Amino acid sequence: MSPVRVRRAVRESVSGLPREFWWLWTSTLVNRLGAFVATFMALYLTLDRGYSASYAGLVASLHGLGGVVSSLGGGVMADRLGRRPTLLIAQTATAASVALLGFMTHPVAIAGVAFLVGMASNASRPAVQAMMADIVRPEDRVRAFSLNYWAINLGFAVSSMAAGFIAEFSYLAGFLIEAGMTLACAVVVFAKVPESRPAPTARQEGAEIGLGTVLRDGRYMAVVGLSFLVALVFQQGSVGLPVAMGRAGFSPADYGLAIAVNGILIVALQIPVTRFIEHRDPRTLLVVSSLLAGYGFGLTAFAGSVGVFMLTVCVWTLAEIVNAPTQTGLVVRLSPVHGRGRYQGVYTLSWSLAALVAPLMAGAVIDRFGAGWLWGMCAVVGTGAGLGYGLLMRRLPAEQPVGPTAPAPGPGPAPADTGSGAGAEVPAA
């Protein structure tokens, strides 16, 4: 491709999005560039502090449990307090708790503060996704979510490399740098990002959407359930894959080489692939991406070299690139305007629960039956999720407009023929 065509493609990929989106995008990138603690936490606890691997696993689980709790709380806050106040509270609390964690020495204190870090860091995700849905036009949402996902992965790739160097110098420095960069995100939001929560109409004033409304939205909860299944599969890249490769005689460096393909491909392909899929049928995209994810991991059962492992990572990474923005766009499409925060919170919950269940599932299956069974189960789960998306998405509601005066349906379940759930309205901050 010529430089002229490349420049035109980049310009078309980023044009037409509001300024507020780019400030929110910048906040996301800065946040992920400073995400050091998650990368070296296990090493910090086992090597620097001398705790057991079991204790490190317990701390990781408590961190994940905090995320589960705040998924719903963050969604409620985004709808009641507003997107901007929720972001400011969550990011400030994250900065404070991460800095505090670096000074904890007692095992109970470390575990307790890790739980608080998980709560604070995850509470902003529903607000970020709801705010993007508020400020971006419906036809641009898939592209916007894709750009945000690209920023997350670019930041994580850079921070993962930097974390190793920082840890060699000082683990405490890593905690403090992450706290400082998270606080910088809060400053960006405070200075540049206005509130975007749509003003409720007269009809909405008397029909506030609660968590019960979301949970009774059968079609939406089915989508959340399918998201949970897909998340279980994707989680195996960081949970089942390293264990399976280790038991097969491969070194940590071999796993690092294989999994690096995931980040490299996302950074390289997320934007061009999104340009290709942006206006295509989301039902087809979610069915295909679910199958690619399931069978991409399923192929791992036949991997006998690092090169083949890298090839399987390529397959399921392509599924991830397609699934992430398409799934988030679908969540917005099925959510009523004045309940986006709660709907996003429940969607975030599906990924938080998957992060808790996936390690337990992978460990139990590998220990009892072997890694081959785990990869076979991934293929089955991916196939089931693909069939589920195909059945649920036969008739989608229309995209909702942007702006504070956008109409939203009432909170009751929609008629069966429309399939629009709680009206005509997840995660991930």
Closest by Cα among 52, 182, 54 to 117 = 182
How far is residue 162's CA from residue 35's CA, in Å, rounded to a whole number? 10
Helical H segments across 206-333, by residue range: 211-216, 218-235, 240-247, 252-277, 282-298, 306-333
**Would the pTM count as exceeding 0.85?**
no
Q: Taken in order 393, 396, 401, 406, is the CA torsion positive or negative?
A: negative
Amino acid 369 reads F
Question: Which architecture characterizes domain 19-195 according to CATH?
Answer: Up-down Bundle (1.20)
How far is residue 136's CA from residue 87's CA, in Å, rounded to a whole number? 18
For the chain, how long is the longest CA-to-CA vector?
65
Amino acid 30 reads V
Closest by Cα among 315, 231, 305 to 265 = 315
Which long-range contacts link 376-381 to residues 24+ away (Cβ below 8 Å)?
Answer: 376/298, 376/301, 378/233, 378/236, 378/293, 378/294, 378/297, 378/298, 378/300, 379/294, 379/295, 379/297, 379/298, 380/294, 381/229, 381/232, 381/233, 381/294
Q: What pLDDT, on the 0 to 100 scale, is given for residue 415?
A: 30
Amino acid 185 reads C
Contacts of 245 (CB under 8 A, 6+ apart): 254, 255, 258, 309
Q: What pLDDT, on the 0 to 100 scale, is given for residue 203?
A: 52
How far is residue 424's CA from residue 268's CA, in Å, rounded to a whole number? 36
Q: How many CB atoms lie within 10 A of CB 177?
A: 22
Q: What pLDDT, on the 0 to 100 scale, is given for residue 421?
A: 32
Amino acid 410 reads G
Contacts of 371 (CB under 8 A, 6+ apart): 240, 243, 244, 247, 248, 300, 301
Helix, strand and coil percent figures for the chain, each rounded to 5: 80, 0, 20
Fold exhibited by the domain 211-429: Growth Hormone; Chain: A; (1.20.1250)
Would residue 50 be called left, alpha or beta, if left means φ above 0 and alpha means ψ between -120 and 50 degrees?
Answer: left
**Phi and psi torsions of 233, nearest 5°:** -70, -50
Q: In 95-248, at which residue ranges do the beta strands (DSSP E only) sit? A: none
Q: What pLDDT, on the 0 to 100 scale, is given for residue 32?
A: 83
Q: Where in the chain is the domain with CATH 1.20.1250.20?
A: 19-195, 211-429
Question: Would you give the DSSP letter of residue 334?
Answer: T
Q: What pLDDT, on the 0 to 100 scale, is given for residue 293?
A: 96
Q: Which residue has the tokens 């589920």?
A: 388
Mean pLDDT by 10 residues, the chain (429 residues): 62 79 90 76 79 78 84 85 92 94 92 91 87 86 85 81 78 90 91 83 57 85 94 88 85 80 86 83 92 95 92 94 89 84 87 83 85 94 95 68 42 32 32
Q: What pLDDT, on the 0 to 100 scale, is given for residue 422?
A: 31
Q: What pLDDT, on the 0 to 100 scale, is given for residue 260?
A: 81
Closest by Cα among 158, 138, 136 to 148 = 136
How far is residue 412's CA from residue 423's CA, in Å, rounded to a whole number? 7
Structure tokens belonging to residue 151: 């920023």
Please check whether residue 28 is in contact with residue 155, taking contact to mean a CB–CB distance below 8 angstroms.
Answer: yes
Amino acid 322 reads V
